Each structure stands twice: as structure tokens, then as C-alpha cells.
Amino acid sequence: MHVTHLSLADFRSYAQVEVALDPGVTAFVGPNGQGKTNLVEAVGYLATLGSHRVSSDAPLVRVGADRAIIRAQVRQGERQQLVELELNPGKANRARINRSSQVRPRDVLGIVRTVLFAPEDLALVKGDPGERRRFLDELITARAPRMAGVRSDYERVLRQRNTLLKSAALARRHGGRSMDLSTLDVWDQHLARVGAELLAQRLDLIAALQPLADKAYEQLAPGGGPVALEYKPSSPEIVGHAREELYEQLMAALEESRKQEIERGVTLVGPHRDELLLKLGQMPAKGYASHGESWSYALALRLASYDLLRAEGNEPVLVLDDVFAELDTRRRERLAELVAPGEQVLVTAAVDDDVPAVLTGTRYVVAEGTVERV
């Protein structure tokens, strides 16, 4: 798929902007702080219902405005769709498809698909486990939009179970009557059921991604690998792959850790505590890999994601935000050759020279709130 028109109102620095987009490569070039990333961030938001830079919506709304609108005309084969999101920080966001009446924002998922690579992605390798879990979960949602529902169910069940555990822990500490734990049994089953579904999807994803990530790393940094993705569940009891066995194992692990959970008042078992270990050669990339290696690793994960989504059908838009300036000439050229044939590639760069010559295509100059085709 590709985006043919992007329209923003009160999004980030833009009061109003209209950008017509072609398939193939489009580069947004302009000095720092002029609004290049803001444009591609909006496209990414349509695909994930989140920003790659901030975890809440408030910074996405132009200062002084009370809501932002992102609208995109999307083409997939012969099909045209208009998607629109209204961001209302502190209140529910709203969504429309083809100007029809309201749908849930979640229903928009799958219309715009993106793989976005940005400097923030260094955190995929160097950051907390939560960064890697988010990477996995966003990708499983891109593969199967219904997983957005499973993810939010899991978060809800986890919140409610934690609330229960917290009050059990408080009651215990204050010597009160120990509470009726049968309610907890019910929440264990919910957590294990939804958790098993999430886990099965993550494991399936990692199996598919592994060879692609290794290949991508080899293309970017020949001889530097191999790259291995190892999933580390929250409990040694969780060793399965199929949903049913994962459910049983999660139930067993919850039972095992119940005493500790009641002492600490928090859920210690489940996909929210899992880790994706990224290995480079024999060592974990985190803590061992150099800056350049970490950067190539993060990029390899994004390129692998791109390959995977492409192979599974509907081709995503590839977004490369400020990526080329970080790479040496050889890696720049390799990356450019890899991505040049994509259906739609959106690139941002501060100066023209950072965009490799093989990436010919449409250029826009972004300056002082305007986006002009050159």
C-alpha cells in the first residue's frame, strides 16, 4: 500500500498542511527543527496508534490547540481509502474511515502499514526489555490487526489482577483477614488465556523474523554476525509454542509464584515480564555491542520487519527518519540499494547530501512550517 495524500491539522508544529505523495521514494529535506519528523510521525501514528517518539498524545497536539487531526488517503492496489484520526488528549480519540460515521480508532489498524526506523530505535538494542516487547507487539499487530484487541485485553486483565494482588498484600501486611482468593483464580485463568495468545504470536513472529534479521545484518555489516533472537519467558516453566500448552504452563507458573505475588502485590509471571534477548555472535548486543553495531542491529530488525510484512502480502510504507547521516558511506549505499525498490519509502534528512544518489524520487523542502515540492 501507499499513502497518496497526507493532511494534518494542529498536529505538532503544523497548524495545517497538505502533502501529496507519490509511490516510490520521497525525501523530506530541511534544517533541524523544521517539521520533517513530524510528518512521518503522523504517518506512523496511523499504523500503530502511537508515536515513535512519545508515549502520550499530548505533545502531538499543536501548542494552544485542543485536538489534532491526521488524515490520509491510502491506496492499496485498486482500492482507495480515506482514514482520519482525531487526537483528543485526556479524552477518547476518534476515527473515521471514508468519511463514514465513527469507528473505533482500533478499526483503522491495518489500512496504513508502516515500518519506521528512527534514531530512537537505538533503544531497541540498548534500552529496557519494554522497548523490545513493544517492538514485538507492534509487529504482531501489523501482521494481524485483531491482536490490538488481545493486547488491550491483556493490559486490562493485568491491571485488574494487580489491583487485587495489591489489596491482598495490604491486607496481609496490616494483619487483616486474609482475603478470599477464589477471585484470583478467575483472574489467573484470564491472564493465562490472553497471555498464551500473545505469547504464541510473539514466538511465531520471532521464528519468522530470525532468519530475516540475520540476513539483513549480514547485508549491512558483512561478516559481523550472526544475529540471534532468543525469547526469555518470565518463568522457566514456560517452554511451549502452541497456545494450549502455553496456557497450561502459564497457569502452572502462576500457581508456583502465587505466594510471592501476594507478598509483593504484583503479577510476576506473563508476557509483560518477558525479555527478547538480542545476540550478536555469542554475546548479548546490550552491554557488549559498539554504537555502530547496535545501530546496525536496530536497523536490521526494522529491515527484517519490512521483509516479513512484504512477504506476507500488503507491502508497508518504509519510513527512514534521519537514518543516513548516522551511517558510513558503504552502509548508506547498501541500505539505499535494499530499500530503493520499495512501493513507498519516506526519507527525512537535514541536508541533500545525506540522501544517497540511488534514492532518486520526489523531494520536498521542509522549512518554517511549509512543505514545498522541488
Ligand X SMILES: Nc1ncnc2c1ncn2[C@@H]1O[C@H](COP(=O)(O)OP(=O)(O)OP(=O)(O)O)[C@@H](O)[C@H]1O
Name the residues that contact Mg ion, by CB under 5 A.
37
CB of 328 to ligand X, least distance (A): 20
Q: Read out DSSP for 249-283?
A: HHHHHHHHHHHHHHHHTS--SSGGG-EEEEEETTE
Is residue 13 a contact point for ligand X (CB under 6 A)? Answer: yes
Give the span between the Cα atoms of 46 and 133, in whole angstroms: 20
Interior angle at CA 77, CA 75 and CA 83, nearest 5: 25
Give the span between the Cα atoms of 73 and 344, in whole angstroms: 14
| 36 annotated to a ligand binding site | yes
Q: Which is nearer to ligand X, 296 or 348 (CB)?
A: 348
Q: Which is nearer to Mg ion, 37 or 114 (CB)?
A: 37
Give the span between the Cα atoms of 18 and 308, in whole angstroms: 31
What cell numbers appear for 184 in the block?
484470583
Query: Per CB under 6 A, which region of 32-40, 69-77, 262-270, 331-339 contacts ligand X?
Result: 32-40
Residues numbered 53 to 72 that lie near ligand X (CB under 6 A) are 59, 61-63
Is residue 37 a contact point for ligand X (CB under 6 A)? Answer: yes
| 211 annotated to a ligand binding site | no
Is residue 48 a contact point for ligand X (CB under 6 A)? Answer: no
Q: Which is nearer to ligand X, 167 or 370 (CB)?
A: 370
Q: Which is nearer to ligand X, 59 or 226 (CB)?
A: 59
Among 34, 141, 296, 305, binds ligand X (CB under 6 A): 34
Q: Which is nearer to ligand X, 246 or 366 (CB)?
A: 366
Is the distance from CB of 82 to CB of 97 less than 8 angstroms? yes
| 162 annotated to a ligand binding site | no
Please give the single-letter amino acid code of residue 374. Answer: V
Q: Which is nearer to Mg ion, 60 or 221 (CB)?
A: 60
- Angle, to 10 degrees, between the axis of helix 329-339 and the axis of helix 291-311? 10
Of 74, 70, 27, nearest to 45 (Cα)? Answer: 70
Q: Can you count the helices (H) and strands (E) in the chain?
A: 8, 15
Q: Which does 26 bind (CB under 5 to 8 A by kind): ligand X, Mg ion, none?
A: none
Give the span between the Cα atoms of 346 and 36, in whole angstroms: 10
CB of 121 to ligand X, least distance (A): 14
| 31 annotated to a ligand binding site | yes
Give the span between the Cα atoms of 265 and 268, in whole angstroms: 9
Q: Which does 7 bind (CB under 5 to 8 A by kind): Mg ion, ligand X, none?
A: none
Among 15, 16, 22, 33, binds ligand X (CB under 6 A): 33
Q: Which does 350 bind (CB under 5 to 8 A by kind): Mg ion, ligand X, none?
A: ligand X
Is the distance from CB of 280 to CB of 294 less than 8 angstroms? no
Query: Per CB under 6 A, which region of 26-34, 164-172, 226-234, 290-298 contacts ligand X?
Result: 26-34
Is residue 307 a contact point for ligand X (CB under 6 A)? Answer: no
Q: Which residues pair with 325 in a beta bridge?
A: none
Q: Where is the binding site for ATP, in residues?
A: 30-37
